[in-house]
């Protein structure tokens, strides 16, 4: 099929390449000329495992091109809208200006009575957005159907999640329009459906809600375990043993129960805020009041982490960190990504610098981003450069390079064998056996025990 993808960020660029790999003829459209040039030359504008290879493969086959011209969507049988919905600068709600611009642009374009096409929203939007646009498209003289098909991809696994998703959700308008759109989407995803990916057909509002409800649940799981970590600290318990024990109950499950410095990125934080803001507008604010607590627990983990490092390094949480060199390992919000949006690692690194520490950051992919965003931090080119002379190693993103780190090998580089593991990524037995003073939030250590006083 001929597909247009409007918006070529993490979601759109990967979706474009993945759809081309399924045999469709795809044009990716973005207003950012530099991004379009980079993608046209086969260069990924962000770090995403497997994406450069997929891009090279489909561009070699001639099925994928990129342009800044929205008019290219006129030729498409389906246009996917994959633009961002960041948090609005002055409120907790989503900023819909990119969605409005993309859908408004398509609305202005598809005015010929001969136009027969489907507009597919993939962006995460406040519930109710799709219905408003569906009405506007339905009023066009041709047959232009609007559906919502939320995307659940995780950064770091974007290619895999697009080509082998857990489920595909169609939010459809009622009647003939919905039936036409569903059969067009079935054709787009024919290979995935044939491979057994479950499909759920529902109405527009439910499809919009599925996405934010899924992210709200995941965020709640993470904040739940971090809240338990706070209680463990107060009570002298061990959050890692607790997480293992409750996670073995299949009704609870082990995943998304990793304690530490909390969630960040371009989705979970802003999605829970926008969800709560929209629910309040709908008069259902009380139902999702807990999301405020989820958010606060998550942000508190960053301060608790900075306090733990301060106590471990300087003896007490209120101490200044002047004269201490701290190596921060990891800056991206998660491993296998260079995404710095709302990164807990960057927030903690900056807080340590604010408290006076000389902070040297090493991240396998996000170094250039750190330089841009936080000029007060030093950026090392390698783990050993960061560790050399450091009074503490602080792991804030669980890149494999850090998980595999040999404590004996790095011991010779540091000024003091002190490690703070903000992601539960390291084996405490191995590090303490190598003579390291080892600290984590929510687990006993002589200093962590004083955390809540």
Residues labelled as active-site residues: 267
d(CA 238, CA 143): 60
Distances (CA, A) of 340 to 75, 116, 265, 287, 371: 36, 40, 7, 31, 11
Tell me how crowded residue 18 is: count the other CB atoms within 10 A of its CB. Answer: 23
d(CA 438, CA 290): 33
Min separation Cβ 422 and ligand UDX, Å: 10
Contact 276, 212 (CB under 8 A): no
d(CA 166, CA 172): 20
For ligand UDX, which is the closer residue by CB, 82 or 414?
A: 82
Q: 282-286: long-range contacts (C-beta < 8 A, 24 or more apart)? A: 282/127, 282/128
d(CA 350, CA 334): 17
Min separation Cβ 70 and ligand UDX, Å: 25
Min separation Cβ 231 and ligand UDX, Å: 17
Min separation Cβ 358 and ligand UDX, Å: 26
For ligand UDX, which is the closer residue by CB, 77 or 161?
A: 161
For ligand UDX, which is the closer residue by CB, 257 or 414?
A: 257
Min separation Cβ 72 and ligand UDX, Å: 26
For ligand UDX, which is the closer residue by CB, 256 or 290?
A: 256
Angle between helical axes of 290-314 and 204-235 (0-180°, round to 10)? 40
Q: DSSP E strands: which ranges in 33-89?
A: 64-67, 78-81
Distances (CA, A) of 191 to 23, 24, 201, 231, 316: 10, 11, 18, 48, 58
Residues found near ligand UDX in the complex (CB under 6 A): 151-155, 215, 218, 222, 256-258, 260, 262-265, 267-268, 333-334
Report how far Cα 162 is from the mean position of its chain's Cα atoms. 15
Residue 202 sits at the vertex; the CA angle it makes with 200 and 203, to the nearest 5 degrees, is 160
d(CA 379, CA 131): 47
For residue 172, list its beta bridge partners: 203
Min separation Cβ 92 and ligand UDX, Å: 17
């Amino acid at each position: 099929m001929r597909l247009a993808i409007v918006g070529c960020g993490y979601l759109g660029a990967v979706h474009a390449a993945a759809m081309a790999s399924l045999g469709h003829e795809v044009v990716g459209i973005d207003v950012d000329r530099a991004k379009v040039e980079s993608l046209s030359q086969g260069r990924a504008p962000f770090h995403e495992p497997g994406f450069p290879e997929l891009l090279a493969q489909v561009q070699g086959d001639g099925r994928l091109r990129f342009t800044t011209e929205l008019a290219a969507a006129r030729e498409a049988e389906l246009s996917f809208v994959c633009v961002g919905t960041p948090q609005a600068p002055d409120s907790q709600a989503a900023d819909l200006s990119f969605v409005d611009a993309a859908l408004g642009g398509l609305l202005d374009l598809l005015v010929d009575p001969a136009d027969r096409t489907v507009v597919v929203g993939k962006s995460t939007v406040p519930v109710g957005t799709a219905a408003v646009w569906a009405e506007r498209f339905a009023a066009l003289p041709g047959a232009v159907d609007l559906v919502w098909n939320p995307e659940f991809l995780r950064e770091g696994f974007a290619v895999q999640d697009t080509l082998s998703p857990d489920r595909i959700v169609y939010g459809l308008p009622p009647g003939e329009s919905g039936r036409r759109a569903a059969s067009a989407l079935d054709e787009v995803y024919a290979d995935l459906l044939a491979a057994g990916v479950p499909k759920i057909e529902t109405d527009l509002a439910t499809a919009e809600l599925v996405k934010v409800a899924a992210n709200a649940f995941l965020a709640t799981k993470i904040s739940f375990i971090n809240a338990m970590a706070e209680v463990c600290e107060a009570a002298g318990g061990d959050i890692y043993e607790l997480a293992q024990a409750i996670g073995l109950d299949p009704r609870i499950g082990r995943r998304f129960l990793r304690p530490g410095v909390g969630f960040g990125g371009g989705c979970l934080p802003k999605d829970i805020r926008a969800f709560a803001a929209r629910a309040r507008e709908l008069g259902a604010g009380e139902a999702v009041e807990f999301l405020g607590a989820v958010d606060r627990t998550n942000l508190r983990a960053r301060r608790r982490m900075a306090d733990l490092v301060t106590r471990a390094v300087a003896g007490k949480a209120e101490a200044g960190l002047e004269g201490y060199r701290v190596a921060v390992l990891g800056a991206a919000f998660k491993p296998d990504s260079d995404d710095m949006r709302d990164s807990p690692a960057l927030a903690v690194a900056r807080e340590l610098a604010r408290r006076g520490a000389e902070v040297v950051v090493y991240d396998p992919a996000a170094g250039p981003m750190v330089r841009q965003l936080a000029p007060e931090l030093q950026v090392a080119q390698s783990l050993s450069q960061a560790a050399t002379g450091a009074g503490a190693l602080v792991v804030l993103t669980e890149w494999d390079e850090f998980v595999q780190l040999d404590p004996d090998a790095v011991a010779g580089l540091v000024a003091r064998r002190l490690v703070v593991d903000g992601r539960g990524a390291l084996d405490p037995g191995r590090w303490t056996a190598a003579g390291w003073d080892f600290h984590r939030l929510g687990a006993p250590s002589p200093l962590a025990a004083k955390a809540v006083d």
